Structure 1
Amino acid sequence: MTNPKEVFNLPAQRNFELATKRTLELNRSHFLAVQDFDKISRQAGAVLQPPFIHLKYFRFRVEIDTRNAAVTSPDTSLSPREEALILHYLLKADGTPVSREQISFKELPEGANYQPVFYNRVLKSLIALYIANPAKLNLSAISLGGKKAEQADVSFLFQALPRLPLWLVFWQGDDEFPPEGNIIFDRSISRYLDTEAITEICQNLNRRLTEKTF
């Protein structure tokens, strides 16, 4: 199998749409080269029913066609970036059990270097939504499959992919400290996604939560 660590990296191009297209094509090429779809399905916690691999992406059912690497969902429209991400997950997954040990983004490989980018791209708007409209955040989280968790002041557990839990947590703050938020991961996450792809799935969570309307 090709090195999955290289699968999700975007080409260094200004044209984001072209870069996304090339990333998706690369992931499809690597996926179609797989010889044992049963093995990668088991390692990813997915189900193989030839010619399709079935898994859940947040609350959405997803099918991956092993004949052409098409990634589709009957429940939602998937962006090309999400398609590439799901293929990356299948290629990188090695079956490591969920450790139940939580870590933050800065504890990921190279995470400390990219923490400011992660905050600006992901956490900043989520914290703003929590401050401005906690009721909308609650409805959006539940709509996306989130379950209330017993952490911080407000928290939700999302099963983003079969072996990839994410915890979204918020603290109300007080007179001395402003409200804060974070996304927490299981320590096993780097056996399923590289750090760039982890940023991507958190951006997708952010987008789907902040854009959801009722």
Structure 2
Amino acid sequence: VFSTDPKKIIDPALEVLILHYLRDARTAGPTGKWVSYRELPSGGFYYAVFRARTEIPLIKRLGSRPELFKKAAGSLGGEPAQYGDLAFKIITLPRLPLVYILWTEDEEFPAKASVLFDSSAENHLHIEDLAYLGQTVTRELIRSAPRI
């Protein structure tokens, strides 16, 4: 796994994730049924860590800035989805879309974020790899936000 930009270093953990995907991914495409990480087989066990590394950082950085979330998701090729106050489907790897959902804060409720996986996600990556995938996309959303 390498970058076409010789100055860019690829995260070794991301390299491993991509290699796992190339090794394990099945040919079946997405089902179109969206589930939370907790609803994936074995996802409940690791959900607290997933939330702390994926959803909470998104809330802290973009929860009160929907316009920035929209631009950051667009910079990753996100397409609008019909969830929450604002949501985007992001194709992370072939057959592995994620939906990032944001409910913005208001006078009554704090901001909330959720990440949904296609129900077939564990056909392509192990549950720990899916957690890292979500964490990586969140990091890229946050990283791209200051540049917008």
Q: TM-score, normalised by structure 1?
A: 0.63
Mapping for residues 98-109 of structure 1, pairs under 5 Å:
98-109=30-41
Unaligned runs of 5+ in 2: none
| Structure showing greater relative contact order (alpha-carbon pairs closer than 8 Å, 6 or more residues apart) | 2
The alignment status of 1:180 with 2:118, answered yes or no, reads no
What is aligned with 2:95? 163
What is aligned with 2:71? 139
The structure with the largest alpha-carbon Rg is 1
Percent identity (aligned): 35
* Structure 1 counterpart of 2:138, one-letter code: N
| CA distance, structure 2, for counterparts of residue 109 and residue 91 of structure 1 | 20
**Bigger mean CA offset, 132-141 vs 181-190:** 132-141
| CA distance, structure 1, for counterparts of residue 18 and residue 42 of structure 2 | 22
Aligned length: 144
Question: 3-state SS of the aligned residue for 2:130?
Answer: helix
| CA distance, structure 2, for counterparts of residue 74 and residue 157 of structure 1 | 26
What is aligned with 1:128? 60
What is aligned with 1:97? 29
CA positional deviation for 1:141 = 1.3
What is aligned with 1:86? 18
CA positional deviation for 1:174 = 4.5
CA positional deviation for 1:136 = 2.5
CA positional deviation for 1:171 = 1.5
CA-to-aligned-CA distance 1:74-115 (integer Å, 9 cap, x gap): 266421111111110011112122111111111112211221
What is the aligned-residue RMSD (CA, Å)? 1.7
CA positional deviation for 1:72 = 1.4
**Bigger mean CA offset, 174-183 vs 139-148:** 174-183
* Structure 1 counterpart of 2:85, one-letter code: D
What is aligned with 1:111? 43
The alignment status of 1:74 with 2:8, answered yes or no, reads no
Q: TM-score, normalised by structure 2?
A: 0.88
Alpha-carbon distance change, 133 to 77 in structure 1, aligned in 2, over 3 angstroms: farther
Unaligned runs of 5+ in 1: 1-70
